[in-house]
Amino acid sequence: MDKVLVFILAGGRGERLYPLTKDRAKPAVPFGGKYRIIDFVISNLINSGFYQIKILTQFKADSLIRHISQLHLLSPAVGQYLDIVPAQMRMGEMWYRGTADAVFQNLNLIYDENPKYIMVFSGDHIYKMNVNCFFKYHKKKKADMTISVIPIHKSRAHKFGILEVDSNWKVTGFVEKPTKDPPTIPSMPDHCLASMGIYIFNKRFLIKIIKNDGNSNESSHDFAKDIIPKVYKHYKIYAYNFLQNRIPGLTEKEVGYWKDIGDIDSFYEANMDLCSIVPIFNLYNPHWPIKTVRCNYPPAKFVHDEENPERKGAAYNSVVGEGTIISGATIRNSVIFQNVFIHSYAYVESSIIFNGVEIGRYAKLRRVIVDKYVKIPDGIEIGYNLEEDKKKFYISKNGIIVIPKGYKFKEKVIPNKWKNSQ
């Protein structure tokens, strides 16, 4: 196989995902009951046969570094590695100024490894991708650079870089986050081709363009904002249609699934996509395992008191992590992480509960994200009166309540003898 070096960009602040990014980098945010967001891009690469990976970290990277260091997925003895590369300020006393600058400041890694191709991936997207198909396409086109793209409705174009292509899928136009009149797909006039922020480069081409950009005082040093608009007219820049990508065991419902976890609402939606009877995003494909840190928790436990039919531990259309005890409580359409304790008569609906949370008796939660190590008092109701909730908690545009990591409730709630009739 041609030598390929992979960069995963994992240093973003993730400000729009606050308060989940208050104490952690965006790629380290927990997802799906047992994973971190970065696990998905790492799994895609390893499942596809790419084993030389550099992860570029920056802000609030402690939990991300700890997680990656515990993965133990590759064998250094045969030249495989999953290396963590903190920001080293090799080009001056500055943080990474953009995605292109992150690679520019780590040119030494390219010189040391001397690959023929370089891949650049974002560390904060949820999807499955056979990267080898993407790589073969790049070589077949004899491209200098290939960009993975996905059709989106034009109403969402303002969130993405939008490309135009010719009949051979060579890039003929690019605009970053257009606010009006985005270029659409001729055969799909209500849709645009959005960049997924995933790139393959020929080494010589990449070094040339990022050196030119890195030494410019008029650039924001970003692949989307600065590099692509300057090069697509003069070099062989191609687009790869993600809808054509296939992995073993892929369901028809999953084809083209890709989520940019940009804010609380998109994070919530992606988690809820796991909960349906036939999920939009399937974690249970044995042919494409999502790899993560193994935890020695016991199996999940559901407690049902046969003498008291109201005290019934049950979860409907939900994901429940190891070590969790649901003691006479009812869970619906929710993602429950590991080592959670939910006490009797509690009711949790359409919510995401992170590791180590304890939910008291008769508590009711609806459309709530509870970050780690929070103790929910007995009898409290959250998500049923947004006007009251917004006085204490962050609430997203779509009404998702977020209780931050380690939040301490001051009030003591007298439990109502609410009967679980839902």
* Residue 17 · residue 27 · CB < 8 Å: no
Q: Which two tokens stand for residue 380?
A: 């409290």
The torsion angle over the Cα atoms of residues 74, 145, 208 and 89, rounded to 10 degrees, is -40
Q: How far from each other are the two terminal CA atoms of the chain, in whole angstroms?
A: 56
Backbone phi, psi, residue 286, to 5°: -65, -15
Residue pair 398/265 in contact by the 8 Å Cβ criterion: yes
Nearest to residue 118, comparing CAs of 30, 180, 56, 163?
56
Nearest alpha-carbon partner for 401 in 377, 387, 383 = 383
The answer for 77, left when phi > 0, alpha when psi is -120 to 50, beta otherwise, is alpha
Strand arrangement of the beta sheet that strand 335-336 belongs to:
319-320, 335-336, 352-353, 368-370, 401-403, 394-395
Question: Hey, what domains does the chain have and what are their CATH numbers?
Answer: 4-272 (3.90.550.10), 301-403 (2.160.10.10)
pTM of the model: 0.93
pLDDT at 411: 65
Q: For residue 262, which phi and psi values (nearest 5 degrees)? A: -85, -30
Local confidence pLDDT in tens for the 422 residues of the chain: 689 999 999 987 888 999 999 999 999 999 999 999 999 999 999 999 999 999 999 889 999 999 999 998 898 889 999 999 988 877 777 788 899 999 999 999 999 999 999 999 999 999 999 999 999 999 999 999 999 999 999 999 999 999 999 999 999 999 999 989 999 998 899 999 999 999 999 999 999 999 998 888 888 999 999 999 999 999 999 999 999 999 999 988 899 999 999 899 999 999 999 998 888 999 999 999 999 999 899 999 999 887 787 788 999 999 999 999 999 999 999 999 999 999 999 999 999 999 999 999 999 999 999 999 999 999 999 999 999 999 999 999 999 999 999 999 986 655 555 444 34
What is the model's pLDDT at position 27? 95
